[in-house]
Structure 1
Amino acid sequence: MTVTVYGATCASSRRSKEWLTKNGINYIDRNIIKNPLTVDELQEILRMTVDGTDEIISTRSKTFKELDLDIESLPLQELLELIHQHPRLLRRPIIMDEKRLQVGYHEDDIRQFLPRTTRRNQILEYLGLTPNYLQPAKG
Structure 2
Amino acid sequence: MTVKIYGSSCASTRKSRMWFNTHNIPYVYKDIMRNPLSIEEFQHILRLTEEGTKDIISTRSKAYKQLNINLETIPLKKLYSLIQEFPRLLRHPIIFDEKKLQIGFDEHNIRQFIPKEERQKFIIDNLFNLNNNPHIEGI
Amino-acid identity (%): 48
SS of the residue 1:128 aligns to: helix
In structure 1, C-alpha distance between the alignment counterparts of 2:126 and 2:94, rounded to whole Å: 29
Name 1:50's counterpart in structure 2: 50
How many positions carry a matched residue from both structures?
134
Name 1:95's counterpart in structure 2: 95
Give how far 1:39 is off.
Answer: 2.0
- Give the TM-score of the pair, scaled to structure 2: 0.89
- List runs of 5+ in structure 1 lacking aligned partners: 130-135
Name 1:115's counterpart in structure 2: 115
Name 1:128's counterpart in structure 2: 128
Q: Give the ranges of 4+ consecutive aligned residues of structure 1 lying more than 4 Å apart after TM superposition.
A: none
Name 1:83's counterpart in structure 2: 83
Give how far 1:85 is off.
Answer: 1.7
Q: CA RMSD in A?
A: 1.9
- Give the TM-score of the pair, scaled to structure 1: 0.89
- List runs of 5+ in structure 2 lacking aligned partners: 134-139
Change (3 A) 1:137 1:98: farther
In structure 2, C-alpha distance between the alignment counterparts of 1:39 and 1:116, rounded to whole Å: 30
Do 1:5 and 1:30's aligned partners in 2 also have CA atoms closer than 8 Å? yes
Does residue 70 (structure 1) correspond to residue 102 (structure 2)? The answer is no
Do 2:54 and 2:71's aligned partners in 1 also have CA atoms closer than 8 Å? no
